[in-house]
Amino acid sequence: MHTHKLFPLLAALLAVSVVPGQAQMRKIIAELSPVAESDAVHVASTVHAALLVKLPDTYHMQSNAPRNPLLIPTRLQLETPAGVRVTELVYPPAIDLKQEDVELPLAVFEREYAIGISLSIGAEVAIADLVIPVHLRYQACDDSMCYGPTNVDAIWTLKVVPTANALIAQNTELLAKIAFGTGQAPPAATAPTAAPTTVAPSDGPDVDLGTLDHFTISGTAGGFLRADAFLKFIKNAENDVKEAGMFEGQGPLAIILIVLLGGFALNLTPCVLPMIPINLAIIGAGARSGSRRRGLLLGGTYGLAMALVYGVLGLVVILTAGSFGTINASPWFNLGIAVLFVVLGLAMFDVVTIDFSRWSGNFNPGARRGSFVLAFSMGAVAALLAGACVAPVVIQVILFSSNLYAKGTQSALALPFFLGIGMAIPWPFAGAGLASLPKPGAWMIRVKQVFGTLIIASAIYYGYLCYEIFSSRSVDTKQVATSANEKLKEGWHASLAEGLALAEREHKPVLIDVWASWCKNCLTMDKTTLQDAGVKAALDGYVKIKFQAEQPDAESIKQVMQRFHAVGLPAYVILKPKAAASPHS
């Protein structure tokens, strides 16, 4: 039997915090580095420069002229100050990227490339630093799918010096590879390019969110839904029934109580219980404390440290990883959690051994036994070296907290802290000698095996999620757009403003389908669920709107999606004009 020195909790938290965004909605962020041919520039001159673009490994960027006009071309725009003009942009040659199940290869740029820029510096430009905002809009792709369009910005500072000052050449080798004189004129506008429209019309930045104040959000749903689930969604929205999740509807106090009890129960696991008297002895609590009051305070300090560690880790992960939809819809995240849970589950059956007790026992922060510094340090270390029984629970609480936080429940940020408080409850009493601990015995083997079974079941669940996401990755954007146009021919509206105005005039409920041409499940829903006879009949009295979120990071689109609490595509929202009756009443 092998002993593996693993940090299951820390590894999982790291995976959550660095995992990229959601499949399809996921944003692949490029690094931008503007460079010039010299360390400064003169007035009344032409300057050759370049924007260096670097994507993460395995990704490419659509070229400035994609073969499929429905894909997002790469566009570079510079906001030049008065007297400065962009005279030429030189995009690099495109290469072919073959995607799975797609006949026509994509015309893409390399993972790292440079865009040549020719700047004309006018004679009237002042001797000072020129600040030029740079905007790059692009769509990243890999060999299985293309992702949501992204805007990345950079600030470029050029130093204008008197003509008498000598210039120092730089980036010579890089700029020599760019075919200046063969490029294209820049776009007339200086602001970032608007999202292309694949169906007409589109509200774009003209969406008036104030109009939504005239409506009540009766229901929201997302992802692929079968016809029966979609009909239930419609029925619940019409009857003002809010679908409750595992904890939803229980109230914040009930959720906190459940989390506290869960944390308390972790003390009975075979990863924690045997270590309590050992750690009490190390910190000088319990029988060695000298007084019950001091033992209580030492045990409380130890427990408080655990609670703070879980609270801070949870806070950092939730705020840096983004919404639950962004995290949980990544196949790599689900695969990582599945593998981690398999290892932790096998440890429960003693197939592998994960033993951190000797590490925490040998930890010495340099403080004397019986000191509060030692108690606090040991508590923090014990939380970080959480065993195989504890890590899955902490991970699930953080995921659940992320889900609630994404839906606007700010207090969800405190749930990991309350989990730690639950784990800390026995420590002050045990430290004061006021409580007797259950004696370890054969019963712990059964508890361990039950935990192992639950953890393996969780691994299977996350593995299945990973498979589902990978299997739905390829999409033909032309098919998605064609399907959306077919819906418009059936009487759906492409304009959110026009659809809402009609619903308000005729006092009808509204179904909003938030979609994009790069969303495969949008196509699947169009071809299956939304074609179902029962669904069509249920929506007969509705004003139906196809709202295109092709550029979800655009401020106007982002505001609409946040208003609808949409964290992925497709998203479905049912609105009722205020005081409206059911369409079937």
Name all domains of the chain by residue range, CATH numbers in brackets: 8-16+253-471 (no CATH), 37-176 (2.60.40.1250), 204-245+477-577 (3.40.30)
C-alpha angle 73-76-78 in degrees, rounded to nearest 5: 155
Query: What is the spatial distance between Cα 279 and Cα 330, in angstroms, rounded to a whole number?
Result: 39
The stretch 349-376 carries a mean pLDDT of 60
Q: In the prediction, which pLDDT does 204 show?
A: 47
Average pLDDT, the chain: 77
User: Residues 309, 315, 320, 326: is their CA dihedral positive or negative?
Assistant: positive
Task: State both tokens at 94.
Answer: 């495109």
The stretch 326-334 carries a mean pLDDT of 62
Give the residue carrying structure tokens 């669904």: 535
Task: Judge if the upstream peptide bond of residue 570 is cis by omega within 30 degrees of 0.
Answer: yes
The residue that leads in pLDDT, 400 or 114, is: 114
* Of residues 62, 70, 69, 120, the one with CA closest to residue 92: 62
Task: State both tokens at 307.
Answer: 């609670």
Give this prediction's pTM.
Answer: 0.45
The residue that leads in pLDDT, 563 or 552, is: 563
* Of residues 501, 495, 502, 500, the one with CA closest to residue 548: 495
Q: In the prediction, which pLDDT does 366 show?
A: 47
Integer CA distances (angstroms), 360 to 217, 381, 394, 440, 539, in order: 52, 7, 19, 20, 61
Phi then psi for residue 274, to 5 deg, are: -65, -20
- SS3 sequence, 261-310? HHHHHHHHCCCCCCHHHHHHHHHCCHHHCCCHHHHHHHHHHHHHHHHHHH
Evaluate if residue 19 carries a pLDDT over 70: no
Q: In the prediction, which pLDDT does 14 show?
A: 39
Of 19-33, 166-180, 183-197, minimum mean pLDDT range: 183-197
Query: What is the spatial distance between Cα 466 and Cα 334, in angstroms, rounded to a whole number?
Result: 5
Give the residue carrying structure tokens 């495109």: 94
* Of residues 491, 340, 328, 485, the one with CA closest to residue 401: 328
Q: Which DSSP string corresponds to 104-141?
A: SPEEEE-SEEEEEEEEEE-TT--SSEEEEEEEEEE-EE
Whether residue 573 contacts residue 217, with contact meaning beta carbons closer than 8 Å, is answered with yes
Q: Is 449 exposed, middle or buried (0-12, 13-18, 19+ CB in 10 A)?
A: middle
The residue that leads in pLDDT, 552 or 207, is: 552
Give the residue carrying structure tokens 């590894």: 11
Query: What is the spatial distance between Cα 424 and Cα 376, in angstroms, rounded to a whole number?
Result: 12
Residues 6 or more apart whose Cβ sits within 8 Å of residue 339:
459
- pLDDT of 34-48, one tens digit each? 999 999 999 999 999
Query: What is the spatial distance between Cα 458 and Cα 472, in angstroms, rounded to a whole number?
Result: 22
Task: State both tokens at 277.
Answer: 């008297």
For residues 573, 579, 580, 585, the Cα torsion angle rounded to the nearest 10 degrees is: 120
Evaluate if residue 492 carries a pLDDT over 80: yes
Q: In the prediction, which pLDDT does 583 show?
A: 52
Of 7-21, 124-138, 196-210, 329-343, minimum mean pLDDT range: 7-21
Task: State both tokens at 470.
Answer: 């990978």
Whether residue 212 contacts residue 563, with contact meaning beta carbons closer than 8 Å, is answered with yes
Q: In the prediction, which pLDDT does 247 show?
A: 47
The stretch 476-494 carries a mean pLDDT of 87
Q: How confident is the model at residue 450 (pLDDT cuts 50, 70, 90)?
A: confident
Residue ranges of alpha helices (H) inside 220-251 are 227-238
Neighbours of 274 (CB within 10 A): 14
Residues 6 or more apart whose Cβ sits within 8 Å of residue 186:
76, 77, 78, 86, 87, 88, 89
The amino acid at 221: A
Q: In the prediction, which pLDDT does 527 show?
A: 92
The residue that leads in pLDDT, 563 or 469, is: 563
Rg (CA), the chain: 29
Give per-residue burial for 173-208: e unless 16+ CB within 10 Å, then b: eebeebebeebeebeeeeebbbbbebbeebbbeebe
Which residues are 97's β-sheet partners?
Answer: 106
Q: How confident is the model at residue 203 (pLDDT cuts 50, 70, 90)?
A: very low
Percent of the chain with pLDDT over 70: 71
The amino acid at 509: P
Residues 6 or more apart whose Cβ sits within 8 Å of residue 493:
499, 502, 543, 544, 545, 546
Percent of the chain with pLDDT over 90: 30
The stretch 491-500 carries a mean pLDDT of 89
Neighbours of 360 (CB within 10 A): 18
- pLDDT of 46-101, one tens digit each? 999 999 999 998 889 999 988 876 678 899 999 999 999 999 999 999 999 887 65
Task: State both tokens at 465.
Answer: 């999620």
Query: What is the spatial distance between Cα 285 and Cα 300, in angstroms, rounded to a whole number?
Result: 10
Query: What is the spatial distance between Cα 248 and Cα 263, in angstroms, rounded to a whole number?
Result: 19
Q: How confident is the model at residue 424 (pLDDT cuts 50, 70, 90)?
A: confident
Which residues are 88's β-sheet partners?
Answer: 118
Task: State both tokens at 81.
Answer: 């100050």
Q: Is 437 exposed, middle or buried (0-12, 13-18, 19+ CB in 10 A)?
A: middle
Whether residue 380 contacts residue 313, with contact meaning beta carbons closer than 8 Å, is answered with no
What SS3 class is residue 490?
coil
Q: Is 483 exposed, middle or buried (0-12, 13-18, 19+ CB in 10 A)?
A: buried
Residues 6 or more apart whose Cβ sits within 8 Å of residue 582:
238, 239, 509
Q: In the prediction, which pLDDT does 497 show?
A: 85
Q: How confident is the model at residue 543 (pLDDT cuts 50, 70, 90)?
A: very high
Whether residue 271 contacts residue 387, with contact meaning beta carbons closer than 8 Å, is answered with yes
Query: What is the spatial distance between Cα 246 and Cα 166, in angstroms, rounded to a whole number?
Result: 70
Q: In the prediction, which pLDDT does 24 show?
A: 44
Pairing of strands 106-109, 60-62: antiparallel
Q: How confident is the model at residue 194 (pLDDT cuts 50, 70, 90)?
A: very low
Task: State both tokens at 532.
Answer: 């179902």
Query: What is the spatial distance between Cα 262 and Cα 178, in angstroms, rounded to a whole number?
Result: 61
The residue that leads in pLDDT, 424 or 40, is: 40
Evaluate if residue 235 carries a pLDDT over 80: yes
